[in-house]
Amino acid sequence: MTMQSASYVRGQVRIIEAIAATIIVLILAALLPPMIFNSPTTTLRSQVQTNTEWYAYDVLLTAIGNPQFTYYVQHGNWSAVQSLLNTIVGPQYDWYIAVVPYRDIVVLTSIVNRGNYVLVPLSIIPSVYYVPPLGMPIFMTSTSASMLSLNIYTINSLLGGSYSINTSVPLSNVAFIQCKNPLNTNITQCIESNNVRMLNWWLEYFDPRTGVAVVWLNATGNVYMLVSNGSTPYNVLSNSSCQYPYCYPIGGVSNIMYSSFNAPPYNNEPQFINYYTQQSLSQCYSISNGMYSGSNYLVKIKTSGGTASGQSLNAPTTASCTLPVSISSNVGGINAYLIGQLMTPIPGTNFTLGFKNIKAELWICFVNDTCKSYTGSLAGATFPINIGNIYVNETYKSTYENLTLSVIGSNVIYKVSSKLYNGYHYGYYYLYLLTLSLSFNPAMCGLNVSASIYNLVTMDSNSTPYGSPYFYNLTKYNGLNCTQLTLNLTSMALSNPSITSISLVIVPGNLLIQQNTPQNPNNCYGVCYVYNATTIVYDLWVTQTPTTSYYMPITTSYNFELLNRYNVVPQQYRERFFLSGFAPTASAYAIIQLPNGTYYLVYLGLMSVAGG
């Protein structure tokens, strides 16, 4: 299969995430100290009566928002840029513009050069909730599984020299390492003293259009991305190059990467994210169940209308597989992910991903590293708390599909649907990432439940319910008083010194994947479908809510001498009036990406003239 594909945006910290041929504007006001000029911010006369700093940003955004601006910059039509600014900027201002290659002013600090490889530092930070009244910390995202969205094109532009992350065989020369003490920041000392570990990691997706790679790591804390100057990563434990790309099986790639980008077939099937293998699904593969294994995917699912004009078709009406869920620590929540492809739809067919027999349990852990589930009544609820089943369904209509979230419990039945928008019209998502998320909301004493789907071809996305998750209220439906629970647990922990932690966790009984197609009518004078509805599942995994927040120590120099030195705008087009001693009263910055993929920082300075 050859198909363009895209990574997805998940609400996480990024360096820069850009789409080719599209301007990406990052307003940097909150990040920029007044390094270029120490200028007053008094209110001056302008075309809009507002603070001059805001006016400067308004002018800059208007300029770079003009589709011609990037064309002028890419083709060096600086007189047109000058004319554009003269049109936008009020006559009471002189202006100065600098367009600077971003790589010339950005520095990736703390990078470690080790000869055969360089190390790029990443600080991955789990989310913490502090339970009142004592402020006891609870990790709401995993401390052992992180999902990072990294813009590889941007990192490559910062590395320079002989080091570059491979994008033709995506990330094949990359590894991730960490000191055995994840809080240690002296990675050189850790390597030289052999107190370092190679991290298990997995490349879920790389989008060549944007440069964004989605990477799963078996770690949080201080992590280093190792970029080798060879074709394979460098193994810091053996002091030699790895034999295989990704240092397989330490690292690896998803089936969709292998299928879509001809990446090497090195799926290391990481169990730190509970990745489902063909062995996991072996009991589900059969002709009678409509499920088949394959060399570059997890399962192919075929269903049909059963019969046509009295003749049996070659696929059942329902194909179903129930799988165990093995997550050791899911305090913050639990997510299911599925990368699938719709091959042939039949109207009325439903594809389902969901959790069955979900419970909320109290786990009590002790100093001897044993844990047990509390059974009994506490704080108005009976533990374990039965929640029910939660599913996300794709329903194929004649020309489009619906995404439906269902919460089915003993005390609640909730369903909400949304029609999927595909490009400029409603339609099918043929290659997609489907996600089902359950997370605790301790402040409101319940669970946030949501489902989302991302079109890997067109980069459209949809979620249900739209806007905000569905809230399952543990107080309303199960009688739990979270305030009282906190007091009870605090008393329990204080009275028993051997208790190390007490956690409220989400425990699904099973994971369900299922497809069903409506039965054809007894006769085919109406409409009968004699072919199969076919779906391919490439990758399937379930993990506790991953940590997605990280930062890289990147600094940008806004020294005016440096900006002026690297300014690609010729001298005669940089300013309106060319007054001596240009001293702007306001400045604005933005980053743009040209259609050829290069980044530029655009600086605009305004100086009031004529009594402004």
- Alpha-helical (H) ranges within 479-548 are 482-495
Q: How far apart are CA 516 and CA 597, in angstroms?
A: 44
69-83, 149-163, 337-351, 374-388, range with the lowest pLDDT: 149-163
Confidence grade of residue 477 (pLDDT, cut at 50, 70, 90): very high
Highest mean pLDDT among 9-18, 377-386, 410-419, 516-525: 377-386
Q: For residues 462, 464, 468 and 470, what is the CA-based torsion angle, rounded to 10 degrees?
A: -160
Number of helices (H), then strands (E), in the chain: 9, 41
Confidence grade of residue 28 (pLDDT, cut at 50, 70, 90): very low
Q: How far apart are CA 536 and CA 339, in angstroms?
A: 9
Alpha-carbon distance values, 520 to 219, 302, 306 (Å): 50, 15, 7
- Scan for tokens 């492809």, then name that residue: 341
Angle between helices 67-75 and 78-88 in degrees, nearest 10: 150
What was the pLDDT predicted at 40? 24
CB 357 within 8 A of CB 381: no
Is pLDDT above 80 for 90?
A: yes
Run of H or E including 499: strand 499-507
What was the pLDDT predicted at 556? 67
Is pLDDT above 50 for 184?
A: yes
Structure tokens at 91: 């006559």
Highest mean pLDDT among 266-280, 301-315, 364-378: 266-280
Q: Which residues contact 190 (CB under 8 A, 6 or more apart)?
A: 179, 180, 181, 184, 196
Question: Is the model more confident about 291 or about 19?
Answer: 291
166-170, 246-250, 319-323, 592-596, range with the lowest pLDDT: 592-596
Confidence grade of residue 266 (pLDDT, cut at 50, 70, 90): very high
- Alpha-helical (H) ranges within 398-447 are none
Confidence grade of residue 351 (pLDDT, cut at 50, 70, 90): very high
What was the pLDDT predicted at 509? 94
Confidence grade of residue 128 (pLDDT, cut at 50, 70, 90): confident
Highest mean pLDDT among 57-71, 160-174, 245-259, 520-534: 245-259
Share of the chain above pLDDT 90, in %: 56
- Scan for tokens 């790309």, then name that residue: 245
**Mean per-residue pLDDT of the chain:** 85
What was the pLDDT predicted at 132? 74
Is pLDDT above 60 for 143?
A: yes
Structure letter (DSSP) for residue 368: T
CB 517 within 8 A of CB 348: yes
Q: How far apart are CA 194 and CA 228, in angstroms?
A: 19
Confidence grade of residue 109 (pLDDT, cut at 50, 70, 90): low
Q: How far apart are CA 230 and CA 161, in angstroms?
A: 13
Question: What is the mean predicted confidence (pLDDT) over 290-301?
Answer: 96
What was the pLDDT predicted at 51? 65
- Cα dihedral sign for 396, 398, 399, 404? negative
What confidence tens digit (pLDDT) does each residue in 236-250 have? Answer: 999 999 999 999 999
Highest mean pLDDT among 22-26, 130-134, 524-528: 524-528
Is pLDDT above 80 for 2?
A: no
Question: What is the mean predicted confidence (pLDDT) over 191-200?
Answer: 96
Question: What is the mean predicted confidence (pLDDT) over 293-318?
Answer: 93
What was the pLDDT predicted at 20? 23
Q: How far apart are CA 324 and CA 293, in angstroms?
A: 19
Is pLDDT above 90 for 280?
A: yes
Q: How far apart are CA 398 and CA 401, in angstroms?
A: 8
What was the pLDDT predicted at 35? 25
Structure tokens at 217: 């790591």
What was the pLDDT predicted at 176? 98
318-332, 463-477, 491-505, 576-590, range with the lowest pLDDT: 576-590
Is pLDDT above 90 for 326?
A: no
Is pLDDT above 50 for 612?
A: no
Q: How deeply is 449 buried, as exposed, middle or buried, from its count of CB atoms within 10 A (0-12, 13-18, 19+)?
A: buried
Q: How far apart are CA 401 and CA 364, in angstroms?
A: 44
Question: What is the mean predicted confidence (pLDDT) over 369-383?
Answer: 92
What was the pLDDT predicted at 578? 83
CB 585 within 8 A of CB 40: yes
CA nearest to 163, candidates 204, 114, 104, 215: 114
Is pLDDT above 90 for 302?
A: yes
Confidence grade of residue 66 (pLDDT, cut at 50, 70, 90): confident
Burial of 373-406, coded b for 16+ CB within 10 Å and e otherwise, reads eeeeebbebebbbebbbbbbbbbbbeebbbbbbb
Is pLDDT above 70 for 6?
A: no
**Torsion-angle region of residue 422: left (phi > 0), alpha (psi -120 to 50) or beta?**
beta
